[in-house]
Amino acid sequence: MTSQYVDRLSRTDRDMILTLVPEGARVLDLGCGDCSLLNQLVREKRIRGTGLDIDGMQLVNGLASGLNVYQGDLDDGLSDFPDQSYDYVILNQTLQVVKHPMLALEEVLRIGRYGILGFPNFAQWQLRRGLFFGGRAPKSPALPFEWYDTPNIRVLSIQDFFDYCRREKIAIVHQRYLMGGRWVKRLFWKRAVNLLAHIGLFVITRSDSGASTAPWRMPHSFESTVNAP
C-alpha cells in the first residue's frame, strides 16, 4: 500500500522533472539508479545524458539506449567531471541519503549550469503531528521508513533549504511543491509550503554564475550554451 504510493510519488516527480528539462539539453543524473528518468528524457526531450550511480550493474539499462554511464560515489566527489560541463545536473531524492550533502550540492553547481533538486520535506505537518502527538520518529507517504531501516540519513525541511540557499548565494529559479497528490508552484502565504509540501523540487543556480535567474519561463527550445571545454 505504502510502497505503491511511493512508486506513484516517484513517478509524479519524474513527470515534473521532465517538464523542467528543456529540449536537447546536456543532462547529468546523479544517483540515477537504472537510468529510467534519463531514458525517458532521451525519448521525450532528445537530451544528451550521463547517468551516475554507485551500482554499476544498474547502469546497463542506460548503456543500451545510448547514454553515457559512470559508476561513482557522490560522497567521493565528482572530480572527473569538468566545471560547467552539463546544462542540468539532477539530484533527485538523493540529497537526504548522502554522507556529505554540502559536497554534493557544490558538485551539482560546479558541474552544471542549473541543478534540479528534489527531496522530501521533513517539516510537513503530518510528520510534525506524528512527532508531537505520537512521540515517534515521523513517517509519511513520502517518508514511509522506520527509523532503523531508512536510507535517509539527512533530515532537512524546505525552510532549511531556503536558509541554506540564502547563505550559500544559491538562486532558486524555479520551484514546485507536491501537496497531497498535486503539484503547485506557489502558495499565497509563502511560508506555508514548509507546512504543507511532502516534496520540494527546485531548479537552482549560482547567483554569481551568470546563468539566468530571471523569473522562470519554460523554454520551448533550448540552445545549449555549454560547450565542451
Contacts with other proteins, residue ranges (CB under 8 A)? 42, 46-49, 56-57, 59-72, 79-82, 85, 227-229
* Residue closer to other proteins, measured from CB, 69 or 204: 69
Minimum CB separation of residue 74 from other proteins in Å reads: 15
Buried b (16+ CB within 10 A) or exposed e, 27-63: bbbbbbbbbbbbbbbbeebebbbbbbbeeeebbebbe
Rank residues 221 and 227 by Cβ distance to other proteins and give the closer one.
Answer: 227
Q: How far is the CB of 11 from other proteins (least distance, A)?
A: 23
Number of H-type helices and E-type strands within the chain: 7, 8
- Taking the C-alpha atoms of residue 54 and residue 32, their distance in angstroms, rounded to an integer, is 9
User: Which of residues 81 and 161 has its CB atom nearest to other proteins in the complex?
Assistant: 81
Per the structure block, which three cell numbers stand in for 224?
Answer: 545549449
DSSP 56: G
CA distance 140 to 86: 34
**Element at 116 (helix H, strand E):** strand 112-120
- Least distance from C-beta 23 to other proteins, angstroms? 12
Q: Is 207 exposed, middle or buried (0-12, 13-18, 19+ CB in 10 A)?
A: middle
**Residue 82 CB, nearest distance to other proteins (Å)?**
5
**Closer by beta carbon to other proteins, 1 or else 228:** 228
Task: Provide, rounded to whole angstroms, the least separation between the CB of residue 47 and other proteins.
Answer: 8
Between 60 and 102, CB nearer to other proteins: 60
